[in-house]
Amino acid sequence: LDIAERMEGDMIAARSTVAGEGDDVSGTVRIGAPDGFGVAFLAKRLGALTALHRELTIQLVPVPRSFSLSRREADIAITVERPT
């Protein structure tokens, strides 16, 4: 029962975060994506996200076909290949 209650509390906290309640979203996030996908798809959607969260800065980084997050070139990577 204790585990279920903790899970319920975590779920309520997650819902509040997703709904925009609580702490403001702020900071810089670097998103690595293939150039065409970043320009054609992500750019306008990320603009809407930063309009909602004025303290959030998103840097869209074009990445080559082979990319490794371990080199810290981006915080999030969107690829069209399986991760290595």
Written as six digits, the tokens of 50 are 């930063």
pLDDT category of residue 66 using cuts at 50, 70 and 90: low
pLDDT at 37 over 80: yes
Enumerate domains of the chain plus CATH numbers.
Answer: 23-84 (3.40.190.10)
Q: How far apart are CA 78 and CA 82, in angstroms?
A: 10
Q: How far apart are CA 47 and CA 13, in angstroms?
A: 26
pLDDT at 47 over 80: yes
pTM: 0.60
Confidence at residue 69, expressed as pLDDT on a 0 to 100 scale: 67
More confident residue, 24 or 26: 26
